Amino acid sequence: MATQRHDETDTVEPEGDGGGGERPLPPYPPNLGHPTLHMVRQMQDTLAFGERAHRFEDVVRTRLVGQGDIFHLGHPEHVKRVLLAEREKFRKSSDFGTAFGEGLLTVEGEEWQQQRDALQPLFTRDRVMTYADGMVEQMQRRVRRWEDGDRMDLQSEFTDMTLDVLFATILGRELDVDGDDRLRTAAEDLHEWFVPTSYLLPEWVPTPARRRFREGKATIREEADRLLDERAGDAPANPTEADDLLSLLVGLRESGMVEDTGMLTDERLRDQMVTIIFAGHDTTTTSLTFACWALANNPEVKARFQAEVDRLDGPPTADDVADLEVTDRVVTETLRLYPPVYALPRVTTEPVVMDGYRIPSPRRVVLPFRQIQRDERFFEDPDEFRPSRWDGDLRSELHNFAYAPFGGGPRICIGREFALLEAKLALATIGQQFDLYWLGENDADGEPPTAPEMTLRMEQGQEFLVTER
Ligand code: HEM
């Protein structure tokens, strides 16, 4: 979601125009060199680039050569204005629509509201709690294969695990634990649309990454078709009573409610499946990987976490979740330091003024969640992994948008409850049985090797040692 690919519909106007009166445009940060170098610098180290951009001001602009200015809004109040208070002045950038069609992540306005209303029942807290046992079953199935002394790339392991969970719960089809490789590869390849080499080049250039993306998407759509056909005739008369996404979508189609929900065609239903598979696994995968890194690198926190999961009477259940306080805070703190969606893009639909600076329209703006969540104005010792900071009243004292790993306003992540439950159950399931040691090398500043791609990920191939407890 942190993409800044050139967006053909986001036309670039000549410097200096675009409305907003005589107010100045935000400055180019003085510490990032000449704007013509911004793109290269950003490619070299995206996270450091973002950090430095906000060192002096909350509202700044940077430039992507040939693509125009991007406006960065680094205060929670800006996030609130963009996502909630003045959301009609901002739209989603069209990258996602180009990639995924007309699913919930991309559509706008009335159609978005209809799709959101249709899907929401599957994602309420109560409904999500009913997936807990199914989630743990999938996790056990995978963890059972781990052996004392294994060296593992946990990110890759969690990619498989989150797909297992997503398919078995929301999509109603259990994946083969050792197989379904074509589908697993296809789900991973959905991220290829957003790799840096792609956003530098016009859309028609056939890069290997784009080819992989197209093949991946075609495979997922084939699978979606197969699943929708398989379920045809078997859906509940009232789609709102559906147990899973597949029944819901088939039910909407068969009951004729599809037209009312904007999901008019099979094409739309497929888009919806691709969207959920894309949005619903990688984010949780990276959160789990960073949480394991954080536990392995913070022995005191790990000891408290292990003591907590050892108190459970067997595999974790929905009833245990409320008692998993340390685990909950480990997840919360991981999402603060390593938000998978580390920056959220939007495009202005009319000129706006932020901190006295004018932002023309249409222009790309970026909400840098990672920066804001590491800002010392809002968090003490912001770079420290300290789950206990959430023990007291921090949440109620914080600006509502100073911690927003799931976004905010009406378009807040629909999968939030699902992801939080899954992350806590996965950590507890693993923690009960295995101890984790980090075998990778941290950066000079003690941070894990991180790759800010489509989501914030651990660099590929980083290993952990797992030992039986
Ligand atoms: C830790 C895990 C997750 C994180 C950090 C995360 C983050 C986000 C964020 C920041 C947004 C807002 C995007 C925007 O405003 O442009 C979003 C939207 C969305 N997420 Fe998640 N997400 C996670 C897990 C999930 C899961 C598990 C699912 C589905 C099973 C999911 C499905 C979606 C969908 C469909 C949207 C679009 C919602 C809308 O526009 O109404 N996400 N997510």
Is residue 323 domain-resident?
Answer: yes
Instruction: Say how far apart CA 296 and CA 465 lie, in whole Å.
Output: 10
Q: Are residues 138 and 113 in the same domain?
A: no
Is any ligand 1 atom within 6 A of the Cβ of residue 116? yes
Tell me: do 423 and 455 sit in the same domain: yes
What does 155-174 look like in DSSP terms, one character per residue?
A: HHHHHHHHHHHHHHHTS--P
Same domain, 119 and 140: no
Tell me, yes or no, whether 369 lies in a domain.
Answer: no
The domain tally of the chain equals 2
Residue at a domain's end among 279, 311, 327: 279
The whole domain housing 323 covers: 134-153+285-340+403-469
184 and 253 both lie in a single domain: yes
Select from 194, 244, 233 the least CA-distant residue to 217: 194
Task: Indicate which atom in ligand 1 lies nearest the CA of residue 103.
Answer: 35
306 located within any domain: yes
Could you tell me which residues come within 8 angstroms of residue 347 by beta carbon, excluding any fewer than 6 positions away? 7, 10, 90, 91, 92, 93, 94, 362, 363, 364, 365
Predicted confidence at residue 239, as pLDDT, reads 67
Residue 361 lies in a domain: no
Instruction: Mark whether 233 and 140 lie in a shared domain.
Output: no
Best of 413, 414, 418, 422 for a ligand 1 pocket test (most atoms within 8 Å of beta carbon): 413
Q: Is residue 47 part of a domain?
A: no
Residues 335 and 271 placed together within one structural domain of the fold = no
Domain boundary among 279, 305, 328: 279
The Cα diameter of the chain in Å comes to 67
Quick one: 464 and 325 in the same domain?
yes
CB of 39 within 6 A of ligand 1: the answer is: no
The answer to whether residue 452 is domain-embedded is yes
> Which atom of ligand 1 has the smallest separation from the CA of 115?
41
Atom of ligand 1 nearest to the CA of 422: 27
Mark whether 466 and 451 lie in a shared domain: yes
The number of the ligand 1 atom at minimal distance from the alpha carbon of 105 is 37
Rounded percentage of the chain residues whose pLDDT exceeds 70: 90
Last residue of some domain: 259, 279, 299?
279
pLDDT tens digits, one per residue of 383-424: 999 999 999 899 999 999 999 999 999 999 999 999 999 999
Answer yes or no: is the C-beta of 97 below 6 A from any ligand 1 atom: no
Residue nearest to atom 29 of ligand 1 (CA): 280
Domain containing 313 — which CATH number? 1.10.630.10
> Is 147 found in the same domain as 214?
no
Q: What is the pLDDT of residue 224?
A: 84
Give 261-289 pLDDT, tens digit per residue. 555 567 778 888 888 988 898 999 999 99
- Reported confidence tier of residue 258, pLDDT bands at 50, 70, 90: low
Specify the ligand 1 atom closest to the Cα of 409: 15
Asked if residue 99 has its Cβ within 6 Å of ligand 1, the reply is no
- Does 341 contact ligand 1 (Cβ within 6 A)? yes
404 lines ligand 1 (CB under 6 A): no
pLDDT band at residue 465 under the 50/70/90 scheme: very high
pLDDT at 5 > cutoff 50: no
